[in-house]
Amino acid sequence: MARSTDSPSGTGRAPDRFDCIVVGAGHNGLAAALVLARNGRRVLVLEKNNFVGGMGGTREILKGCRNEVGASCLFPLSAEIKRYFDFEAHGVELIPLPVMAVNLVGPDGRPFVIYRNPVRLSFNLLRTFGLSGMMGFVRFLRFCQYPARLLDRFTARKAPRKLEDLIAEARTPQQRAHLELAFKGSAMDILDKFFPNRIQHRELRASMAFAAVQATYKGPYTEGSGLCLVYTMAQEGSEGLMQRVKGGLGRLSESLAEQIEALGGEVRLKQSVSRILVEDNKAVGVALKSGETLYAETIISNLDKQATFNRLLSDCKLAPTDQKRVDAFSHRGAFVHMLFKLSGLPEYSAHLGKLNEIHGSRFGGAMVLDPQVLQQSYETCVRGELPEQIPLAFQIPSVVDSSLAPPGYHTASAYGFYFPCEADKSRRGKMRGQMAEKIIDHICVHMPNFRSLIVDQAIFSADHFASMQGVTNGDWTHGLLHPDQMIGERCLVEGTGHSTPVENLYLCGASCHPGPGVTFLPGYNCAHEIMAATATGAIATSVAPAQEVCAA
């Protein structure tokens, strides 16, 4: 198990010197550390909290429950990642979901039920939305395949290229127009092509519009929101299926930490890093808030770029061009995350009564708004005001995993958008409570007895994520999914995925390609880049002039 102390590992080496130090025990930091440990490196992972997993961790927040504050479901993993980490062989149990989501729009809307079984999904699309709806959905998925392939969301060990280069290299004008629409157009520019009937295709339009904006700080009619839509719909063969992890998503990170320590590495909890130490533009170690100093040949940050360079390296100046790239990244956490402990399982309203009879249908999904209303909510948020209606992602994970709650109880969670995260901080506390009530009100539209079942609840906004996890502005994406900060633009040193202008310092988190989500790819790819650089003696070449670098 990960330790809260900093005792020597018993390897016979100096206790304060390591091959690699990883700052942050999120899933990507642990993935990088495990790859390096398997390849003979002496690794140390430092985590300021008393649990591993970061925003993919699991711990008790509400009494007797295992709660996920952050990510909650396991989405597609690349085939290489699945083979390499083989979680199920290391004590992790995955739970398939017969109903992956139920998406709902308004008190009178039809439920869009997303079944795991593709035949059942197709039949339900046909029955609910007619032939045009089913064929539109098929054509929409086909449209996403080409741009999604270029996004390389599931490609391991490959340095990403810039978006503009990929568009310019399209073979035909038609392909170029396809990519321009997918990467630079709005989500509704795309959805109008496949679901043009606002009445017949209402629930499909609303569901896909919501999928396009959760990681963007954009509305569905805002230019550039199409990229997030394509990113969300990207598939990895038959692995495009959502699953739950028994005991909570944090079990994945706990498994990685256990393997690291079994190989002689260390994962130290409650160890807060105050600075990354730099000498002659080389990262050489870290200073802890306790006053201890630790050294390593390679330093790896699992934090986002601004948290890494503007906080942990605040004493060290980058070249102006490099600093400009760091500061250009947009971070906005426009959400409120809620956890609930329930005294029973809520039921759908009479209008949706048939859903109560479908196994797994109360697991969760989304409670969304028509695209025009969703756009209005975004624009209200930008003005610093609380939207009238709150779209939300919703789960009752104890429906499929009873280990998450005490007997007779259930756990639930909800992510509500758009919280006015740029409003004055003196107003945000009051608005957070108001938004929490709006979230519960929205749930009760579809599950009328939900409020009466609440035994306990917790409310988190981006401000909490910023303090708990050290992410800039509470942005769980480590850089929003905007066209100008994805793929190759997510990199600081061209031609590499994880190198930085400071020699021997690497980034391994979601701020790197392919971005957010519990994919383990940023950490896995970073470790391989480090091993390749070590083998060849390669170092980052985009460094600041010597006089502009401050030794920490």
pLDDT tens digits for 402-427?
999 999 999 999 999 999 999 999 99
CB 469 within 8 A of CB 511: no
Give me 485's structure tokens: 């900060």
Query: Which phi-psi region, left, alpha or beta, contains residue 106 (left: φ > 0; alpha: ψ -120 to 50)?
Result: left
Q: How confident is the model at residue 76 (pLDDT cuts 50, 70, 90)?
A: confident
In 3D, which of 49, 68, 10 has the Cα closest to residue 261? Answer: 10
CA distance 384 to 399: 37
Q: Which CATH class is domain 95-111+332-470?
A: alpha beta
Give me 12's structure tokens: 């016979």
pLDDT in tens, 352-394: 999 999 999 999 999 999 999 999 999 999 999 999 999 999 9
**32 CB contacts (<8 Å, ≥6 apart)?**
22, 300, 302, 508, 523, 524, 526, 527, 530
Q: What is the pLDDT of residue 300?
A: 98
Least confident of 221-225, 502-506, 535-539: 535-539
Give the mean model confidence (pLDDT) for residues 30-54. Answer: 98
Tell me, what amino acid is at 366?
A
Give me 297's structure tokens: 């040949």
| Helix (H), strand (E) at residue 535 | helix 521-536
Give the mean model confidence (pLDDT) for residues 287-305. Answer: 97
pLDDT in tens, 110-151: 999 999 999 999 999 999 999 999 999 999 999 999 999 999
Give the mean model confidence (pLDDT) for residues 254-281. Answer: 97
In 3D, which of 250, 214, 241, 339 has the Cα closest to residue 2? Answer: 250
Per-position b or e across 464-487, b if 16+ CB within 10 A of its CB: bbbebbbbbbbbbbbbbbbbebbb
CA distance 70 to 335: 11
Give the mean model confidence (pLDDT) for residues 174-196. Answer: 98
Percent of the chain with pLDDT over 90: 89
Q: Look at the block and give the residue holding tokens 């100008």.
A: 484
Task: Please state the length of the chain.
Answer: 552
**47 CB contacts (<8 Å, ≥6 apart)?**
2, 24, 25, 267, 268, 269, 270, 271
User: For residue 17, which phi and psi values (nearest 5 degrees)?
Assistant: -120, 135
User: For residue 367, which phi and psi values (nearest 5 degrees)?
Assistant: -120, 105
CA distance 206 to 482: 21
Q: Identify the DSSP state of 455.
A: E
Pairing of strands 17-23, 293-301: parallel
Give the mean model confidence (pLDDT) for residues 253-282. Answer: 97
Q: How confident is the model at residue 16 (pLDDT cuts 50, 70, 90)?
A: confident
Identify the CATH assignment for 17-57+248-329+478-548 out of 3.40.50.970, 3.40.640.10, 3.30.110.60, 3.50.50.60: 3.50.50.60
In the chain, what are the domain boundaries? 17-57+248-329+478-548, 95-111+332-470, 117-239
Percent of the chain with pLDDT over 70: 93
- The alpha-helical segments, DSSP class H, found in 48-200 are 79-85, 118-151, 163-168, 173-184, 187-194
pLDDT in tens, 453-487: 999 999 999 999 999 999 999 999 999 999 999 99
**Burial class (CB within 10 angstroms; exposed 0-12, middle 13-18, buried 19+) of 63:** exposed
**48 CB contacts (<8 Å, ≥6 apart)?**
270, 271, 272, 273, 470
- How much is the pTM? 0.93
